[in-house]
Amino acid sequence: MKARHKRFMWIAIGLLIIAVAVTLVLRAFNSNLVFFFTPSEVAEQKAPKDRTFRLGGLVTAGSLARTSDGLTVKFDVTDTAKTIPVTYTGILPDLFKEGKGVVAQGRIGTDGVFKASEVLAKHDENYMPPEAAEALKRAGHPIEGKVFAGQKPVVTQASSNIKP
C-alpha cells in the first residue's frame, strides 16, 4: 500500500469514527439522556404519550401479582410520591424484587396502566455479604440505596415491621 493510500484510509476511518460519535451524542441528547421517567414526571405529563418511553422507580412492596396464564405479571412502580400500575408479559430479570429498582419500557394506556414490553432491574450500589445485610435489618437499619436521582430514602416494610 502506498503512503498516500494509507493516509486516505486513516482519514476515512477517522471521519467514520467522528460521524458515529456525533450520531451517538445526538441520539443521547435527543431523548435518551433521560433514560427513564419517574412516576411523578409521568403524572406531570412530562413523559411522551404517543410513543414508548421508560418508566423507572421502585416496585411497591406487596404489589406483585401473576395472572392465571402464569406469564403476565402486574406490579406497581412508585417513587414514593406517585405510583403507576404496570403489566408485563415475559421473563423478569433475576434481580427483580419488590422494594427494589426497576426500569420498564413500554407505553401508557388510556386507562393509566403502563404496558411494558421490556423490564430491567436497576440495582443499587450497596455491596455486602448476606450476614451483614441481615444484621443491618435486625438492627432496624435496612439498606437504602438511591435508585434514581433525587429519590427520598424509602423505608421498606421489612424495617417498619421490626421495631427495636
Indicate the residue among 68 and 133 with the shorter CB distance to another protein. Answer: 133
Q: Which residues make beta-bridge pairs with 93?
A: none
Burial of 107 (0-12, 13-18, 19+ CB in 10 A): middle
What letter represents residue 48's amino acid? P
* Sign of the dihedral through C-alpha 136, 142, 147, 149: negative
Query: Among the candidate windows 43-51, 58-66, 68-76, 129-137, which touches another protein by CB under 8 A?
Result: 129-137
- Give the nearest distance from C-beta 25 to another protein in angstroms: 7
Query: Among the candidate windows 43-51, 63-71, 86-94, 106-114, which touches another protein by CB under 8 A?
Result: 86-94
**38 is a site residue for another protein (CB under 8 A):** yes
Contacting another protein within 132-161 (CB under 8 A): 132-134, 145-146, 148-149
Indicate the residue among 13 and 81 with the shorter CB distance to another protein. Answer: 13
**127 is a site residue for another protein (CB under 8 A):** yes
Which residue bears the cell 438492627? 139
What's the rounded Cα separation, in Å, for the pair 2 and 76? 64
Q: Which residues make beta-bridge pairs with 103?
A: 56, 120
* Sign of the dihedral through C-alpha 75, 76, 77, 80: negative
- Per-position b or e across 133-147, b if 16+ CB within 10 A of its CB: eeeeeeeeebeeeeb
Indicate the residue among 32 and 110 with the shorter CB distance to another protein. Answer: 32
- Using the rule CB under 8 A, which residue among 37, 53, 75, 114 binds another protein? 37
Site string for another protein, 45-74 (x = CB under 8 A): -----------x------------------
Residues that bind another protein (CB under 8 A): 3, 7, 10-11, 13-14, 17-18, 20-21, 24-25, 27-28, 32-38, 56, 92-96, 100, 103, 118-134, 145-146, 148-149
